[in-house]
Amino acid sequence: MTHGTPSGGALGVSKPRRPQASPLVRLVQDHFHRLQTVYDERFAPTHGAWRPVVREVADKFLACGVLDHGFARIRCDTCPHEYLLAFSCKGRYFCPSCHAKRLALWEHWLDATLLAPVPHRQVVLTIPKRRRAYCLDRRR
């Protein structure tokens, strides 16, 4: 089932995510509280003190894509079709769904505004300083 857009193109129907079925969501739900309780004892000496933002990111991640935590009702102007779109956490790096969206938007901006419209690209790869000696000794 597709619906037309104002420009005349076809727009696919939004298929809701099922964030509660994600293994990462289940992992955070099952083990985040335990991590929070043992962090100071086991990880603080090597990784630093527990930052409050970690709890905020986890809470936002668990609420991401869940209708119970808020949604927008999307209605088609030309037909009676409507659906609910759950709010996202808009987080980067921790939430795979939101990070992929931000990455796609950034790639589109990069291609549309920053990169010249040429049929080729120059890519420069660098090796981290700690690995350079290893690479020099093992050339092929």
Domain-embedded: residue 106: yes
pLDDT of 8 over the 70 cut = no
Query: What is the Cα–Cα distance from 19 to 108, expressed in whole angstroms?
Result: 25
- Which domain, by its residues, includes 91? 14-118
Closest CA to 49 of 39, 59, 57, 38: 39
End-to-end Cα spacing for the chain: 55
CA angle, residues 59, 61, 64, in degrees to nearest 5: 110
Total domains present in the chain: 1
Domain-embedded: residue 18: yes
**Could you tell me where the beta strands, DSSP code E, fall in the chain?**
2-4, 10-12, 71-75, 82-86
Rounded to the nearest 10 degrees, how much is the dihedral formed by the CA atoms of 65, 67, 68, 74? 130
The tokens for 134 are: 């290893």
Domain-embedded: residue 130: no
Q: Where does the pLDDT of residue 137 fall: very low under 50, low under 70, confident under 90, or very high at 90 and above? A: confident
Residue 13 pLDDT = 56
pLDDT per residue as tens digits for the range 61-75: 999 888 888 888 888
Q: Are 24 and 32 in contact (CB under 8 A)?
A: no
Domain-embedded: residue 5: no
Domain-embedded: residue 137: no
Domain-embedded: residue 125: no
